[in-house]
């Protein structure tokens, strides 16, 4: 499979799952548009990783997805230099607290970035995908788009909303394109535990309990919810995204794919 000639825009992609998706698409030859809020060193490192993976062209943009006007300006800037074939909505933030203790501004921020920004990028980019008969939207939801956990009310609400938004958009564009052109599809990936820098402190705390045995520490951390007791890597999430971008996936739309080691099978 090749994505040469395709251009992918991935939000929240200077590190973590977003960067894993970007490098996986780059390995298939796609041009990559990175995005997020990060310092110059982090951005430079991400660009180097994507180039090394095989991206045809790499560019980076910094913007705050809570600001709809900034998002509209960002999309206009990206489209000014060419179409976007693949949109991966991945940006997200988290804050945990019981409902009664959840700061109101945290609700606003999490809903804005984790849900509303996905709507904004889709409404601005799906029409130009429809015109060409090929487009892929891949939304990073979460296992928490399918099941809930305590003390995460805005995050859970946003991720459940992403799955509903994914289904609706998939139906809106289901007749676009053909088998030969690839059609326009909208899907969600629902990761469980993924090994990223964000959760490394949690991993290390468990590893220390098992005298430095990383595998045992991770298994202990995951034992409550993820039956496989193995984490996914960002690159493995990227591999799922790559398949969804293929022509063979033209009839896979409106689905939410758990990558959760059996979490939601329980």
**pLDDT tens-digit readout, 27-51:** 999 999 999 999 999 999 999 999 9
Q: What is the pLDDT of residue 1?
A: 65
> Rounded to two decimals, what is the model's pTM?
0.96
Question: DSSP strand E in 197-246: where?
Answer: none
End-to-end, the C-alpha distance of the chain in Å comes to: 34
- CA 184, 81, 47: angle at the middle one, nearest 5? 90
CATH number of the structural domain 7-194+233-265: 3.40.50.720
Q: Identify whether the C-beta of residue 23 lies closer than 8 Å to the C-beta of residue 45.
A: no
Using the Cα atoms of residue 260, residue 32, residue 11 and residue 243 in order, give the sign of their dihedral.
negative
Q: pLDDT digits over 4-13, tens only?
A: 999 999 999 9
Domain ranges within the chain, ordered by starting residue: 7-194+233-265, 195-231
Q: Which residues are catalytic?
A: 155
pLDDT of residue 121: 98
Q: What is the pLDDT of residue 261?
A: 98
| pLDDT tens, residue order, the chain (266 aa) | 699 999 999 999 999 999 999 999 999 999 999 999 999 999 999 999 999 999 999 999 999 999 999 999 999 999 999 999 999 999 999 999 999 999 999 999 999 999 999 999 999 999 999 999 999 999 999 999 999 999 999 999 999 999 999 999 999 999 999 999 999 999 999 999 999 987 898 899 999 999 999 999 999 999 989 999 999 999 999 999 999 999 999 999 999 999 999 999 99
pLDDT value for 136: 98
pLDDT on residue 201: 87
């Amino acid at each position: 499979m090749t994505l040469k000639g395709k251009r992918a825009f991935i939000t929240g992609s200077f590190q973590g799952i977003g960067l894993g998706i970007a490098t996986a698409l780059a390995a298939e030859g796609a041009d990559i548009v990175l995005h997020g809020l990060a310092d110059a060193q982090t951005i430079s490192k991400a660009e180097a990783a994507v180039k090394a993976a095989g991206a045809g062209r790499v560019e980076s943009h910094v913007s705050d997805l809570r600001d709809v006007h900034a998002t509209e300006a960002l999309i206009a800037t990206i489209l000014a230099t060419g179409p976007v074939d693949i949109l991966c909505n991945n940006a997200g933030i988290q804050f945990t607290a019981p409902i009664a203790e959840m700061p109101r501004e945290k609700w606003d921020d999490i809903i804005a970035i984790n849900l509303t920004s996905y709507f904004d990028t889709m409404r601005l980019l799906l029409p130009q995908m429809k015109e060409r008969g090929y487009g892929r939207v891949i939304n990073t939801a979460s296992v928490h788009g399918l099941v809930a956990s305590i003390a995460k009310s805005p995050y859970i609400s946003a991720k459940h909303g992403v799955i509903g938004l994914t289904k609706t958009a998939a139906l809106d564009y289901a007749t676009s394109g053909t088998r030969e052109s690839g059609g326009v599809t909208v899907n969600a990936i629902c990761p469980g535990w993924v090994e990223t820098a964000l959760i490394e402190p949690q991993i290390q705390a468990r590893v220390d309990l098992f005298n430095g045995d990383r595998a045992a520490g991770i298994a202990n951390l995951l034992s409550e919810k993820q039956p496989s007791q193995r984490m996914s890597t960002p690159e493995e999430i990227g591999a799922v995204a790559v398949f969804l971008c293929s022509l063979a996936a033209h009839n896979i739309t409106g689905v939410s794919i758990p990558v959760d080691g059996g979490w939601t099978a329980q």
